Amino acid sequence: MRLVLVADTHVPKRAKDLPPLVWAAVEAADVVIHAGDWVDEAFLDRLEARSSLLIGVYGNNDGPPLRARLPEVADVELDGVRIAVVHETGPATGRERRCEARFPDRELLVFGHSHVPWDTTTPGGLRLLNPGSPTDRRRQPFATFMTADLVHGTLTDVVLHQVPRPGA
Q: Report the Cα 84 to chain-centroid distance in Å.
A: 11
Q: Is residue 168 part of a domain?
A: no
Task: For residues 10 and 3, give the distance between their C-alpha atoms in angstroms, rounded to a whole number.
Answer: 20
Q: Is residue 15 part of a domain?
A: yes
- For the stretch 134-151, pLDDT in tens is 999 988 999 999 999 999
pLDDT at residue 23 is higher than 70: yes
CATH number at 79 reads 3.60.21.10
The mean per-residue pLDDT over the stretch 55-83 comes to 98
The domain tally of the chain equals 1
The 3-state secondary structure of 44-95 reads HHHHHHHCCCEEECCCCCCCHHHHHHCCCEEEEEECCEEEEEECCCCCCCCH
The predicted pLDDT at position 168 comes to 53
- Is the previous residue joined to 12 through a cis bond, with omega within 30 degrees of 0? yes
Residues paired with residue 82 on neighbouring β-strands, in sequence order: 77
Terminal-residue alpha carbon distance, the chain: 31
Q: For residue 114, give its domain range.
A: 2-163
- Provide the pLDDT confidence category of residue 167 given band limits of 50, 70 and 90: low
Strand order in the sheet with 81-86: 73-78, 81-86, 108-110, 127-130, 118-121
Q: Is residue 122 part of a domain?
A: yes
Task: For residues 71 and 18, give the distance between their C-alpha atoms in angstroms, rounded to a whole number.
Answer: 22
Q: Is residue 114 left, alpha or beta, with left meaning phi > 0 and alpha meaning psi from -120 to 50?
A: alpha
Q: Is residue 153 part of a domain?
A: yes
- Provide the pLDDT confidence category of residue 166 given band limits of 50, 70 and 90: low
Q: Is residue 85 part of a domain?
A: yes
